[in-house]
Structure 1
Amino acid sequence: MLGNLKDQPADKILALMASYREDPRAEKIDLGVGVYKDAQGNTPIMRAVKEAEARLLKSETTKSYVALAGDPAYAKALSELILGDALAADRMAAVATPGGTGAFRQGVDLVRMANPDATFHVSAPTWPNHLSILKTVGQPFVEYRYFDNATGEVDFDGMMEDLGKVASGDVVLVHGCCHNPTGANLTEAQWEAVADLIGERGAIAFVDLAYQGFGDGLEEDATGTRILARKLPEMLIGASCSKNFGIYRERTGLLMGLCDPAHVKTVQGNMNHLNRQNFSFPPDHGARIVTTILNDAELTADWKAELEEMRTGMLALREQLAAELRRLTNSDRFDFIARHRGMFSRLGLSPEQVEAIRKDFAVYIVGDSRINVAGLNEETVPKLAQAIAATYE
């Protein structure tokens, strides 16, 4: 039977990582993998995380399972961080999941249980694993226009025109902030318009929130999600703590479902059921780290301070890169890089240009020209700018 299996297509980012490791050139630069790095190229453990883990080591008395939904204190703390004053606890069901990926997969399965015929409307482009998961489970999806490669900005008119075709009961998947892979975000006024349109069409919003705090700040990055929560009767939110808490390998996510209070118990029961079927009990160590930090004022303050250092550091790199490219190309073609937010920006280069940059300059970029800004430092920014300018001419 197992001999009947067929090879699966290689993950392009993982394949790029393998090529990078095999490259003997000392000056090589990795801008492919989607992991935050400091100026020394390390992915650090945040100070508050270290302290929270030390406290847990002293206080934990068991490694027994938690509930199917995970620790309620974790769901409460993280949902308050995300939704703020837009949170109505009597409207929310939530389950802990293995990372943001687990939250998205559980949310897709929940939609399939509620409405198997629902079509997902997904931004073009989006995180590749969104499409891979939808294809794997056989859930229909279509793309809506989002990013204009020529300008490096959101194609909002195209987006609204496409979303105007959404049917009642469909799902509109949006990135809460720091759009992956483009870095181009909606304005507050645009979020308001999107929320109104989704409501008019009788659709449900599904927010993927993986980078809160990496864009314009913790509160600012939650703006779009909170607008949707206030305006729409139902929505799903898949949140990840991998980036903003730096706990990638702990696989710490949360799926939230907002609905009529009369339906919360049933929604919660279905979420619990899906956890039981897919992995039984969710991982807990990362969730307890997050809960410990968010429930302690001193740890929260230290975490926010370090997160802000990370955020402003990436903004400085963006501004440096945009300025360097402006100098080298004598144009404002790449000024959008400074306006983008989060770890990623799509440069609008062709696959041939990306390959030339890899071959001639040892700079590794995903084929669609997405770069991980956090993979840069002050010394490597000029090298990247030179590579882009040489290929762009």
Structure 2
Amino acid sequence: MFETLTPQTPDKIIRLMQMFCDDARMGKIDLGVGVWKNAAGQTPVMAAVKDAERRLVETQDSKSYIGLAGDPAFLNAMCGLLLGPDADAGRIAAVGTPGGTGAVRQVLELVRLARPGCTVWISAPTWPNHPALIDTVGLQRRDYRYYDPATGAVDRKGMLADLGALQPGDVVLLHGCCHNPAGADLARTEWEALASVLAERGAVPFVDMAYQGFGAGLDQDAAGLRILAARLPEVLVAASCSKNFGLYRDRVGMAMALCADATARDTVQGTLAWLNRQNFAFPPDHGARVVQTILDDAALCDSWKTELEAMRLAMEANRRALADALRDATRSDRFGFLAAHQGMFSLLGLTPGQVARLRDDHGIYLVDDSRLNIAGLTEATIPVVAEAVAKVL
């Protein structure tokens, strides 16, 4: 059997994690893997998560199955977080998934069943697992222009021009906020222009919301999604709680579809539950119940929002400090765009060779495309990184 297998290409981020672990040098710096780190370089459990888990331990009296869609209270709480208090529940089909990646996969499986011949459009660049998952599911894909490396901003004209070629039923994969890897986000006017193009072309947006709260704030980060939900009959969403709740290893996600009417909603809900059954059956519950407990309790929710805001502000401060340090080290403003980006990531614009020199000569680990995890920086490492970048230029 196994003699027919051929080696798979390793995921570049997973490979980078292993390279960092194998590096015995003191003072090595991990800016590749997308996890939040505090000033001490640690990824702590959020206080509200600890409190919610204590409550679960004390009150939960069963570990029996809940249902193929997962916990309804979790799904309702997440829909409110994403769409706001005025969301039309009659349009929403949703299921729990193992993390945001599981959510992306389940949405793509839904697309494959509904529109097997459609094209899924992805931004250039995008998260490396997006094209991999699309290819694995067996859907066609096509790039649209998104990021202009010359300006460090969104290529609005290029994006809208490319999406002018959309066909009815095509799917456009969008980063809800904190674009990974570019860090450059759409402005409100760009979301509105995008909604108009999608409506005119009869295409369906698929919003990957992995970093809500890490950009401009919880509601601000969901503004683009809410514009699409208000103006379009169908919207697909994959949401993750890995980053904003710090539940990386607990794998908490949700796949959601906004439908044109209640009849379509019932069909989609049943299909999503069926897809869960064919894949992993019942989604994980512990982390989902933690999220639901936090969102439905005013005191815990306030605690979580306060800590999340502190994380967001720390990343903003890291951005400004790195931009300033790079300006001093390179005697230029070529990296000034970093301060205007949002979220955990930005592209430095280095060549693969320069990224390799950062790793080999300085023990600084970035993804080959020069994606930098802003949350991995500390006050102590920012000047070190800036000097190293100046040396490899």
Q: TM-score, normalised by structure 1?
A: 0.98
SS in 2 for 1:173: strand
> What CA deviation, in whole Å up to 9, does each residue of 1:184-206 have, x standing for no partner?
10101101001111111000000
Structural mapping, 1:28-107, within 5 Å = 28-85=28-85, 87-107=87-107
Cα offset for 1:18? Answer: 1.5
- The residue aligned with 1:382 is 383
Question: Do 2:68 and 2:276's aligned partners in 1 also have CA atoms closer than 8 Å?
Answer: yes
What residue identity is the alignment partner of 1:80?
Answer: G
SS in 1 for 2:208: strand
> What CA deviation, in whole Å up to 9, does each residue of 1:51-99 have, x standing for no partner?
0000000110100111110111111001101110451111101000111
Structure 2, gaps ≥5 residues long: none
Structural mapping, 1:108-187, within 5 Å = 108-187=108-187
In the alignment, the residues of structure 1 paired with residue 352 and residue 342 of structure 2 have an alpha-carbon distance, to the nearest angstrom, of 23
Question: Do 1:48 and 1:303's aligned partners in 2 also have CA atoms closer than 8 Å?
Answer: yes
In the alignment, the residues of structure 1 paired with residue 14 and residue 165 of structure 2 have an alpha-carbon distance, to the nearest angstrom, of 35
What residue identity is the alignment partner of 2:273?
Answer: N
Question: Do 1:86 and 1:226's aligned partners in 2 also have CA atoms closer than 8 Å?
Answer: no
- The residue aligned with 2:304 is 303
> What CA deviation, in whole Å up to 9, does each residue of 1:332-358 have, x standing for no partner?
110111111111011111111111111
Question: Do 1:34 and 1:372's aligned partners in 2 also have CA atoms closer than 8 Å?
Answer: yes
Percent of aligned positions that are identical: 57
Q: TM-score, normalised by structure 2?
A: 0.98
- The residue aligned with 1:234 is 234
In the alignment, the residues of structure 1 paired with residue 182 and residue 225 of structure 2 have an alpha-carbon distance, to the nearest angstrom, of 19
Question: Do 1:102 and 1:253's aligned partners in 2 also have CA atoms closer than 8 Å?
Answer: yes
In the alignment, the residues of structure 2 paired with residue 24 and residue 328 of structure 1 have an alpha-carbon distance, to the nearest angstrom, of 27
In the alignment, the residues of structure 2 paired with residue 256 and residue 15 of structure 1 have an alpha-carbon distance, to the nearest angstrom, of 31
In the alignment, the residues of structure 1 paired with residue 152 and residue 355 of structure 2 have an alpha-carbon distance, to the nearest angstrom, of 17
> What CA deviation, in whole Å up to 9, does each residue of 1:277-313 have, x standing for no partner?
0111111001100000000000000000000010000
Question: Do 1:86 and 1:229's aligned partners in 2 also have CA atoms closer than 8 Å?
Answer: no
- The residue aligned with 2:327 is 326
- The residue aligned with 2:348 is 347
What residue identity is the alignment partner of 1:150?
Answer: A
In the alignment, the residues of structure 1 paired with residue 230 and residue 355 of structure 2 have an alpha-carbon distance, to the nearest angstrom, of 42
SS in 1 for 2:84: helix
In the alignment, the residues of structure 2 paired with residue 7 and residue 170 of structure 1 have an alpha-carbon distance, to the nearest angstrom, of 32
Task: Tell whether 2:264 aligns with 1:263.
Answer: yes
In the alignment, the residues of structure 1 paired with residue 18 and residue 241 of structure 2 have an alpha-carbon distance, to the nearest angstrom, of 26
Task: Tell whether 2:355 aligns with 1:363.
Answer: no
Cα offset for 1:219? Answer: 0.8
- The residue aligned with 2:316 is 315
SS in 2 for 1:315: helix
What residue identity is the alignment partner of 1:28?
Answer: K
Cα offset for 1:13? Answer: 1.2
Question: Do 2:112 and 2:137's aligned partners in 1 also have CA atoms closer than 8 Å?
Answer: no
Task: Tell whether 2:243 aligns with 1:243.
Answer: yes
Q: Which moved further from structure 2: 325-334 or 311-320?
A: 325-334
SS in 2 for 1:236: strand
Question: Do 1:86 and 1:230's aligned partners in 2 also have CA atoms closer than 8 Å?
Answer: no
SS in 1 for 2:349: coil
Aligned residues: 392
What residue identity is the alignment partner of 1:118?
Answer: C
Cα offset for 1:3? Answer: 2.1
Cα offset for 1:330? Answer: 2.1
In the alignment, the residues of structure 2 paired with residue 353 and residue 154 of structure 1 have an alpha-carbon distance, to the nearest angstrom, of 24
In the alignment, the residues of structure 2 paired with residue 87 and residue 141 of structure 1 have an alpha-carbon distance, to the nearest angstrom, of 31
SS in 2 for 1:371: strand
In the alignment, the residues of structure 1 paired with residue 25 and residue 96 of structure 2 have an alpha-carbon distance, to the nearest angstrom, of 42
In the alignment, the residues of structure 2 paired with residue 78 and residue 340 of structure 1 have an alpha-carbon distance, to the nearest angstrom, of 26
In the alignment, the residues of structure 2 paired with residue 11 and residue 264 of structure 1 have an alpha-carbon distance, to the nearest angstrom, of 35
- The residue aligned with 1:204 is 204
Task: Tell whether 2:287 aligns with 1:286.
Answer: yes
In the alignment, the residues of structure 1 paired with residue 223 and residue 171 of structure 2 have an alpha-carbon distance, to the nearest angstrom, of 20
Question: Do 1:152 and 1:347's aligned partners in 2 also have CA atoms closer than 8 Å?
Answer: no
> What CA deviation, in whole Å up to 9, does each residue of 1:357-385 have, x standing for no partner?
11221111100000111111000000111
Q: Which moved further from structure 2: 16-25 or 95-104?
A: 16-25
In the alignment, the residues of structure 2 paired with residue 214 and residue 86 of structure 1 have an alpha-carbon distance, to the nearest angstrom, of 23
